[in-house]
Structure 1
Amino acid sequence: MFGKIKDFIHLLKNIDVEALNKLAEKVDLPAVMESVSKLNDVQLAGLMKMLQHGNGAKRVLPPVDGDFYDISHSLNDEDRALQLKVRAFMENEIQPIVNEYWLKAEFPFEIIPKLAALNICGLTYEGYGCPNRSFLMEGIVAMEMARIDTSISTFFGVQSGLAMGSIYLCGSETQKQEWLPGMQQLTIMGAFGLTEPEVGSGAAGGLTTTAKREGDTWILNGQKKWIGNATFADVIIIWARDLDDNEVKGFLLRKGTPGFTVEKMHDKMALRIVQNGLITLTDCKIAESDRLQHADSFKDTAKVLKMTRAGVAWQAVGCARGAYEHALKYTREREQFGKPIASFQLIQNHLVEMLSNLTAMQTMCFRLSELQDNDLLKDEHASLAKVFCSLRTRDVVSKAREVMGGNGILLEYNVARFVADAEAIYSYEGTKEINSLIVGRAITGFSAFV
């Protein structure tokens, strides 16, 4: 105790004389010293902490970083550099404009040349100008994008994953040569048309969009809904049911094809920057040469979905991470009752719960990408990650909004976008229920699908 009293006296000695004289005018210093001498160790420690804080000692806070288990440290120098390059692009080019475009529900086309310069489109593909990097790196890129804005991440996932992936996995060499180099450079924009107004989860066996072959021409009729990038895409992958064999086939629908119309969908509460379209096909003629030559059934469609579903799980991680980091920063700056609300127990409990969910999601996705890089990925692996991560993201963004109080619903504080976008992630690329049944079938040996 004597040592702590010496510290207290030393602290007083460091106060300049003028300040000490002013203090003596307000308080009885001998009486203060007598009272201090009667304090126990705990009381003295608390007093010292209060005095040091009031004496201008600056508290050094840890960095705001959602990577609590240092997943990024497992990357090699080249991959880490790419991660930081994408992060800088998102923070410098997207963050300043994202709320403006969110309100307008428009897409910032001016970013496309800068995005193309990152050379990350078709990241995991070999040839055609693609970088041929790991699936882990593809997931990290998806996370970094969604950490700032899930809409931009979704736009990129459609272009690089679903649209390019369909051609890469199911197209002929001629089709790959025609489309992939331009799509990789973002000079050719793509979209992926599977979901329909009345068919979402039942796409495997219930597509109402039909294709009828007449010589070397296919006649397509039907509608597609929720098709991201559809309003401006140069090529749209259309999945339709062949009337002759009842199998699902894929087609390259070129922009401006007669019989094709697209209407922009309005009034969305989530992913507002993504330009979703309602496509109508009326006796739309597509040449046999524009049919995906290696897409003969829904099993081929499923290959594309399996490849990209891991990326959606990583998007969920990014959405949760963005919300968590904004919330953490806010609670350290927002003061109530004379101190930052981050110093309150209930706020810290919320933050730790958010971080626990986020860390579990990150480590799951890291292992998922390892499986994919080692060609061990199964449908149920991707589905389990989609179920868990999209569900936990909802919880993280909800708590992020909660710790921010009323400000959590204001766009300027950013978290409101993540709250809304988490709902879209929860549903697209297979709902929780459908992905749960995929996992359930794998672990029980029984299919519960109708």
Structure 2
Amino acid sequence: MSDPKQKYPEAYEICEKFMLNKQHMDEIVNRLTKEINMGLTRDTHPRATVKCFVTYVQELPTGNERGKYLALDLGGTNFRVLLVNLINDRDIDITGKTYAISKELQEGSGIKLFDFIARCLAEFCKEHKMEQSNTPLGFTFSFPCKQVGIDNGTLVAWTKGFKAEGVVNQNVVELLRDAIKRRGDFKVNVVAILNDTTGTLMSCAFNHRNCKIGMIVGTGSNACYVEKTANTQTFDGYLSSTKPNMIINCEWGAFGDNGVLDFIRTSYDHEVDKQSINPKKQIFEKCISGMYMGELVRLVLLELMEKEAIFKGQTSQSILIKGKFDTSFITEIESDQPGSHRNAALVMDRLGIRTNNEKDLGCLRFICETISTRSARLAACGLVCLINKMNVKDLTVGIDGSVYRYHPNYHRLLTENMNMLLKGSVKFELVLSEDGSGRGAALIAAVCAK
């Protein structure tokens, strides 16, 4: 590609603010390490931004787990109920159903939300003739939770657009059990609560024994990793536990909530944050995840259009609307073959701008690449921080989420940037985790039921 600095000077001037060099990245790794240590330490935990919650999951799958388990996966606008049959260490049979959660339920009363979940769970159990089976169930609840037991998780704060009343500071497992009790027409045994990163790690570890990290880059971003139990001071039994390891749910989306990432944030990041439903919260996530990447591109585009530096003479109502530039558009635009801008033209057409101007469409792609490259670099910093923390030389990282799954270059960008930071000192493999929130939840249920 010809030099974008020469080709799109105005766009380059803006995009340069999003570009991270190795010095920035090393500094981010150092700062995140400090925050993680604060989260793990009892005295500093209350004021830590990266909470490093104990998951109470101390054992990884052995590959010998067998039997039927239920999984309930709530982490966004849809939730799923799954029946997972662990046949042998290779074959896992999964049947499931997805249910949409309306905006009313997301923002209404918590009791109504959990009653709805219980209703769907009841329907599913009836369909599979297992109403009275009392099957062990793993509950994937992908919102920040403080756990005080494997089946006791208190919601710290809603994220991802949810704000149902009466749920924050409550044990969500109890809310689910109460809703099931209110119905009284079926029995399940809720044995564990986990978040999607823990599920991702468990699911990947079933086939990759050296999986030590689970990461999500989708609507949100978070990671968990295997820590030595002796380092997890917020766990009461941290010194007396006979089990050497503990999965820690970092909740790294909140990294930077205390200002330590301000040195790399742009005016566009501040704008996205200000317009969000949780200003000044989840700062790292807002620089990385799918919920925000498209909006960053839209803000950059708007400014360039106002300066008439791109799509000159073209206007569109759509582009003026917050959230109209979906992150999936970035994936489509970057999937164009070299020299072709077919997808880019189609995306702009959908937004009410008809153009075949090669230079403008090339510029649009450059903006998208800038935003997704920064996302991958920040995620790489996070992973390298955890790898250094565990001091391992060979591991697998299980990854899930729409950005990692569908973006054409994300895997490559992560790998390249991790190698640059680790200088080849660690052998790692990044693996797309197969349905962590479903399969992983069932595996935790299996490990607990054992």
Common fold: TM-score over 0.5: no
**Structure in which a larger fraction of residues adopt strand:** 2
Higher helix proportion (structure 1 or 2): 1
TM-score, normalisation: structure 2: 0.24
Q: Tell me the TM-score normalized by structure 1.
A: 0.24
